[in-house]
């Protein structure tokens, strides 16, 4: 919106011999503006949203998981949930303000965030109305995510194949290898659905301690701001021997909005948390991250950058699968962050150490840009 008004309409006008509106044509400037705007929205509106949620008794039933430490549950009973509405609103408003709304990928990003935000909201509302419930049934929760992934796969595949200078459409590109990829053909659509669903639910599973998911999202999001910028620049992409995706440079603004929103929410969500994000926040954050990776053709880089999310999801899958087969447990508790709580780590120790791991994984993912 600001781009259309201040650059396309007023971009050639001068004030006292200066052209202050020309700066809105730079992606780097609008990226910074997007991140700061999303951060400020979360920071300034956070207290009001928290007060609103508290006034309506919007609290998650933390006693529904008997495996989680009792002392952990005791300290969380009065903390409101569904603060993720603030994250979703911040991302969408900031992207609308700073992004080019004529850019196809940006509009799709807003749609993905809104769609998964609504799905997460429905899940949270069911938990509130039915305290003994765990929310939407598995089919009702996963099916919309899979269908969204399939639709995105079809749209991205069709749109990408018609773009000038577009290459490697329908390929899974391999990190650390120059120009090497695996052609998936029609299976690319299924692959997109798996990435979107997996990423969305991995962040959802990680959201279990104060500041854990939001802090990791800031770190991973910053890494993908870099990916968005270099993949969307033909000169940088050629220099780094990575696939150039026409139009993806504008995704930098969308990704920066995610970083700013997660950072602003972390202000209120750090220990001791004043609000939880709930599924309305974790599902769209993870889904948007998966969507960005698909557009940039860096899905495997997301596996590296989001290593903490991957480990958390795997810990649950391994625990459930192993227990069903042997009636024994691999971890003291799953997801993995609760395992370390039961081993005696404090909540802040688990959170900060997982942040450090996330930073290492993010740096390793950035290394894939040059090490080929």
Q: What is the dihedral of CA 228, 217, 177, 311, to 10 degrees?
A: -160
**pLDDT per position as a tens digit, 304-348:** 999 999 999 999 999 999 999 999 999 999 999 999 999 999 999
Mind spelling out the 3-state secondary structure of 164-179?
CCCCCCCEEECCCCCC
- The model's pLDDT over 170-181, given as tens digits with 9 standing for 90+, comes to 899 998 888 788
Q: Is the pLDDT of residue 63 over 80?
A: no
pLDDT of residue 24: 77
* pLDDT score, position 21: 66
pLDDT band at 7 (very low <50, low <70, confident <90, very high): low
Tens of pLDDT along 64-104? 555 565 555 556 778 999 999 999 999 999 999 999 988 88
Domain ranges of the chain: 38-367
Q: What is the pLDDT of residues 111-140, one digit of tens each?
A: 999 999 999 999 999 988 886 777 888 889
Q: What does the pLDDT look like over 184-206, one tens digit per residue?
A: 988 999 999 999 999 999 999 99
**208 closest CA partner among 31, 52, 333, 359:** 333
pLDDT at 179: 75
CA–CA dist 249, 105 (Å, integer): 10
Going by pLDDT thresholds of 50, 70 and 90, the confidence category of residue 166 is confident
Query: In 3-state terms, what secondary structure has residue 172?
Result: strand
Q: Is the pLDDT of residue 42 over 90?
A: yes
pLDDT surpasses 80 at 270: yes
3-state class of 182 per DSSP?
Answer: strand
What CA–CA distance (Å, rounded) separates 84 from 61? Answer: 17
Residue 247: pLDDT band with limits 50, 70, 90: confident
For the record, the structure tokens of 176 come out as 């650390």
Output the pLDDT for position 331. Answer: 95
**Nearest one of 217, 203, 221 to 337, comparing CA atoms:** 203
pTM (whole model) above 0.75: yes
Mean pLDDT of 213-232: 97
What is the pLDDT averaged over residues 245-273?
95
Q: Do residues 83 and 278 touch, judged by C-beta distance below 8 A?
A: yes
- For the chain, what percent of residues have pLDDT higher than 70? 89
Which of 20-24, 288-292, 352-356 is least confident? 20-24
């Amino acid at each position: 919106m600001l781009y259309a008004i201040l650059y396309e309409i007023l971009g050639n006008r001068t004030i006292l011999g200066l052209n202050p509106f020309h700066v809105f044509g730079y992606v780097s400037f609008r990226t910074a503006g997007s991140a700061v705007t999303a951060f400020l929205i979360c920071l300034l509106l956070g207290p009001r949203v928290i007060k609103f949620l508290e006034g309506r008794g919007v609290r998650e039933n933390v006693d529904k998981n008997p495996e989680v430490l009792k002392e952990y549950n005791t300290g969380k009973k009065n903390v409101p949930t569904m603060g993720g509405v603030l994250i979703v609103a911040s991302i969408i408003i900031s992207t609308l303000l700073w992004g080019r709304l004529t850019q196809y990928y940006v509009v799709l990003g807003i749609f993905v965030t809104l769609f998964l935000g609504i799905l997460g909201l429905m899940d949270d509302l069911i938990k509130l109305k039915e305290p003994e419930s765990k929310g939407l049934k598995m089919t009702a929760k996963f099916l919309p995510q899979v269908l969204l992934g399939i639709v995105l796969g079809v749209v991205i595949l069709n749109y990408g194949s018609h773009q000038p200078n577009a290459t490697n459409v329908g390929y899974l590109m391999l990190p650390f290898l120059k120009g090497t990829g695996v052609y998936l053909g029609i299976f690319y659509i299924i692959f997109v659905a798996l990435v979107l669903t997996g990423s969305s639910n991995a962040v959802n599973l990680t959201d279990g301690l104060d500041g854990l998911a939001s802090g990791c999202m800031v770190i991973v999001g910053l890494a993908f701001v870099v990916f968005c910028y270099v993949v969307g620049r033909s000169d940088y992409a050629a220099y780094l021997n990575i696939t150039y995706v026409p139009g993806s440079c504008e995704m930098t603004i969308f990704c920066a909005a995610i970083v700013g929103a997660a950072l602003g929410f972390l202000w209120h969500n750090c220990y001791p948390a004043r609000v939880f994000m709930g599924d309305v926040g974790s599902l769209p954050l993870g889904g948007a991250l998966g969507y960005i990776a698909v557009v940039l053709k860096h899905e495997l880089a997301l596996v590296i950058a989001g290593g903490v999310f991957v480990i958390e999801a795997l810990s649950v899958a391994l625990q459930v699968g192993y227990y069903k087969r042997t009636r024994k447990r691999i971890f003291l508790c799953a997801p993995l962050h609760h395992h370390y709580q039961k081993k005696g780590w404090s909540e802040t120790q688990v959170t900060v150490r997982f942040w450090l791991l996330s930073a290492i994984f993010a740096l390793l993912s950035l290394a894939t840009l040059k090490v080929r």
